Amino acid sequence: AQRVTQPEKLLSVFKGAPVELKCNYSYSGSPELFWYVQYSRQRLQLLLRHISRESIKGFTADLNKGETSFHLKKPFAQEEDSAMYYCALSGGQAGTALIFGKGTTLSVSS
Amino acid sequence: GAVVSQHPSWVICKSGTSVKIECRSLDFQATTMFWYRQFPKQSLMLMATSNEGSKATYEQGVEKDKFLINHASLTLSTLTVTSAHPEDSSFYICSARSTGTQYFGPGTRLLVL
């Protein structure tokens, strides 16, 4: 079965601390993995996709097929990073919907 | 990036009435759009896949006669909540795919009294 698991509902860190938001997935084929972010009162925005292997706003995520994980990391958290983060997967074909994890709220305080 | 709009942004209706929500891709064409439902502080739940010119594909447990989807053009999909009840109150979000990335609308908050 297709499934995305985000084990942490809430992650609270201090400004400047490292951040790791965990994501594990279950999929029978070769999925595309994404991280989406939802800031307060804003729409869902794409943060990262694994195939592009880029860093956005200091965040990176590496797909580990052996551990079926796609954890999101940032070395130094900023207060403006506070938001809801969703890990999602897609079958990769056009017309395939995203399957979302339950999301992790990141709270960064000074 | 691509822009997806939704209208209305919020709606309040009486129980038993029907409500139509529009989802538009503003600067690209989308043969496929998706409708999600989001409960407070919870994740997005896929309701259905809207296919231009053909019937929508509904997820298990989603009543197709209750949530009517029409995708009449490459830039517009509509979701009609028929005979709405208070339990249909939720945040409805649509998305459309462009160049391999899904772009999301701002959502429509529905409150059924």
User: What is the per-residue pLDDT across B90-104, written as a single tens digit (0 to 9) for each?
Assistant: 999 999 988 778 899
Helix (H, G, I), strand (E, B) or coil at B88: helix
Return the sign of the alpha-carbon dihedral for residues A78, A80, A85, A90.
negative
> At A79, phi and psi to the nearest 5?
-60, -35
Across B71-85, b (16+ Cβ under 10 Å) vs e yields beeebbbbbebeebe
Query: Does residue B76 have a pLDDT over 70?
Result: yes
C-alpha A63/C-alpha B8 separation (Å) is: 38
Chain B segment 31-50 residues within 8 A of A by beta carbon are 31-32, 34, 42-46, 49
Are A39 and A59 a contacting pair, CB within 8 Å?
no
User: Does position B42 have pLDDT exceeding 90, yes or no?
Assistant: no
Helix (H) or strand (E) holding B108: strand B108-112
Instruction: Please list the residues that pair with B45 across neighbouring strands.
Output: B37
Selected residue of A86, A100, A104 to mutate for chain B interface (largest B Cβ count, 10 A)? A100
Residue B43 host element (H or E):
none
Tokens of A59: 């965040």
A contacts of B106 (beta carbons < 8 Å): 42-43
- CA A18, A24, A30, A32 dihedral sign is negative
Q: What is the pLDDT of residue A70?
A: 96
Residue A53's CB: how many other CB atoms inside 10 A? 11
Q: What does the pLDDT read at residue A94?
A: 59
- pLDDT tens by residue, A72-93: 999 999 999 999 999 999 876 6
Tokens of B11: 């709606």
Residue A101 at interface with chain B, using a CB cutoff of 8 Å: yes
Q: How far is CA B4 from the centre of its chain?
A: 12
Distance from C-alpha of B95 to C-alpha of B77, rounded to nearest angstrom:
10
Does residue A36 register a pLDDT over 90?
yes
- Looking at beta carbons, which residues of chain B come within 8 Å of A47? none
